[in-house]
Amino acid sequence: MQNQDLVRISQEYGSPLYVYDAQIMGQQYTRLTRAFNAVPHLRINYAVKALSNLSVLKWMHQLGAGLDTVSIQEVQLGLAAGVAPNEIIYTPNGVSLSEIEEVAQLGVQINIDNLDILEQFGTAHPNVPVCIRINPHIMAGGNANISVGHIDSKFGISIHQMPHLLRIVENTDMRINGVHMHTGSDILDIDVFLHAAEILFDTARQFTNLEFLDFGSGFKVPYKPSDNETNIEELGEKLSARFNDFCKDYGKELVLAFEPGKFLVSQAGYFLTSVNSVKQTTSTVFAQVNSGFNHLIRPMLYGAKHRIENISNPGGRERFYSVVGYICETDTFANNRKIAEISDGDVLCFHNAGAYCFTMASNYNSRFRPAEVLWHDGEAKLIRKAESFNDLIQNQVVLDFKEKALA
């Protein structure tokens, strides 16, 4: 996609607007599968939480991916997109036993990360195959907010609790068919990931009838041209060799599974906003756009730094701007960022807006959530309409208050 394509799309569908490039998603999927082509059985389960639009789920499935889900609603979205239950894995955290049982009835692969829930589920449903999520106690990634494998994480069953876990499995005679881990996001150090993999292998040896090992994801993607990223090719070469050796020792060919979200869709996404005004204060020049953290919360929540480009004037003289939103809170997208000169009405493009952007949007300040467009085969296709006032109030129940006489 070119800047002129994005400008034209914003003119056609308005802004703010999310645009996703299907071709980039396909390129990322192909890159990952090629990196692990030495593994006989590879399964890529796209992490629905990254971007859950039904058309995106259908496209991912067409590419060959299954789905990684974390809620019964995400499972239902996957089924609505035409994905078969046996191509979906459900990895919840902190949900009720009843939700897990409801998902299990749909025929979806269950992944449990809680000893208490594991015992309850195994006692009631010993014949339902279950994957277990371990916590390897590996601090991976550069941000504590998105690292989930450390010792204080709420995710996973600690590797130090293996004796208890094995006792539950033996007492319930339940069937364990997979072992799973996920250490966090933005992993750069291949050796750290491989060290976590060895812990997963050690855990897997405790079970005799496994079908797959799930290594999670968390691969880092670049947010600017000079940014670092996970060396997928190096990881593929090293982990594939180690995984194949493990399978030989185990005496059975297992499936190697990943559950990438950001890796597949982050770079495919563009968030387009229009400049309402340019405001000069005593020390700062603000570019005020027709959006806020209600549409893109990552900069305020995680300190994420999305590259911002003035696609209406890409060749203009660069100046320093703080890009802010229209929410009645501090909603700063960028501080003192070099951007081509901005004027009222210009279209600003936020790059890497495919993952955890629309899915974390809200109606704060009673603002509408924006439309979504998929760029596929050189055409822009609407895949979600922009919200209207009726969408905002459709589920509200307005009470009829009777007037009371004043005393």
**Cβ neighbours of residue 55 closer than 8 Å, sequence gap 6 or more:** 374, 381, 383
Q: Where are the beta strands (DSSP E) in 40-189?
A: 42-47, 66-69, 88-90, 109-112, 130-135, 157-158, 176-180
Residue 217 lies in a domain: yes
Q: Please report how many Cα atoms fall inside a 13 Å half-sphere around the Cα of residue 85, on the Cβ side.
A: 10
Range of the domain at 297: 266-392
> Which of these three, 262, 287, 308, is where a domain ends?
262
Q: For the chain, how big is the Rg over CA atoms in Å? A: 23
Residue 249 lies in a domain: yes
Whether 247 is a known active-site residue: answer no
**Cβ neighbours of residue 46 closer than 8 Å, sequence gap 6 or more:** 57, 60, 65, 66, 67, 68, 259, 260, 261, 264
Peptide bond just before 16 cis, omega within 30 deg: yes
Q: Which pair of structure tokens corresponds to residue 270?
A: 């563009």
If asked whether residues 32 and 91 sit together in one domain, one would say: yes
Query: pLDDT per position in the chain (407 positions), as tens?
Result: 899 999 999 999 999 999 999 999 999 999 999 999 999 999 999 999 999 999 999 999 999 999 999 999 999 999 999 999 999 999 999 999 999 999 999 999 999 999 999 999 999 999 999 999 999 888 655 544 444 445 567 889 999 999 999 999 999 999 999 999 987 767 878 888 899 899 999 999 999 999 999 999 989 999 988 889 999 999 999 999 999 999 999 999 999 999 999 999 999 999 999 999 999 999 999 999 999 999 999 999 988 999 999 999 999 999 999 999 999 999 999 999 999 999 999 999 999 999 999 999 999 999 999 999 999 999 999 999 999 999 999 999 999 888 766 65
If asked whether residues 231 and 371 sit together in one domain, one would say: no
If asked whether residues 113 and 71 sit together in one domain, one would say: yes
Q: Is 82 left (phi over 0), alpha (psi -120 to 50) or beta?
A: left
Residue 4 lies in a domain: no
Residue 15 lies in a domain: no
> Which of these three, 224, 245, 262, is where a domain ends?
262
If asked whether residues 76 and 210 sit together in one domain, one would say: yes
Burial of 190 (0-12, 13-18, 19+ CB in 10 A): middle
Cα 156 from Cα 133, distance rounded (Å) = 5
If asked whether residues 97 and 180 sit together in one domain, one would say: yes
If asked whether residues 257 and 204 sit together in one domain, one would say: yes
Alpha carbon separation from 384 to 13, 20, 235, 247 (Å, rounded): 11, 12, 36, 44
If asked whether residues 112 and 200 sit together in one domain, one would say: yes
Q: Is 142 left (phi over 0), alpha (psi -120 to 50) or beta?
A: alpha
Residue 101 lies in a domain: yes
If asked whether residues 151 and 63 sit together in one domain, one would say: yes
Residue 126 lies in a domain: yes
Query: Residue 155: what pLDDT?
Result: 86
In eight-state DSSP terms, residue 365 is G
Burial of 353 (0-12, 13-18, 19+ CB in 10 A): buried
User: 290 by DSSP, 3-state: which?
Assistant: coil
Residue 7 lies in a domain: no
Residue 376 belongs to a domain with what CATH number? 2.40.37.10
Residue 283 lies in a domain: yes
At position 301, the amino acid (one-letter code) is: L
If asked whether residues 231 and 326 sit together in one domain, one would say: no
Backbone torsions φ then ψ of 294, nearest 5 degrees: -70, -20
If asked whether residues 207 and 323 sit together in one domain, one would say: no
Number of domains the chain is built from: 2
> Which of these three, 202, 237, 262, is where a domain ends?
262
Instruction: From the candidates 131, 247, 328, 349, give the one annotated as an active-site residue.
Output: 328
Query: Residue 315: what pLDDT?
Result: 94
Handedness of CA 228, 233, 239, 242 (dihedral sign): negative
If asked whether residues 312 and 181 sit together in one domain, one would say: no
Residue 173 belongs to a domain with what CATH number? 3.20.20.10
If asked whether residues 51 and 127 sit together in one domain, one would say: yes
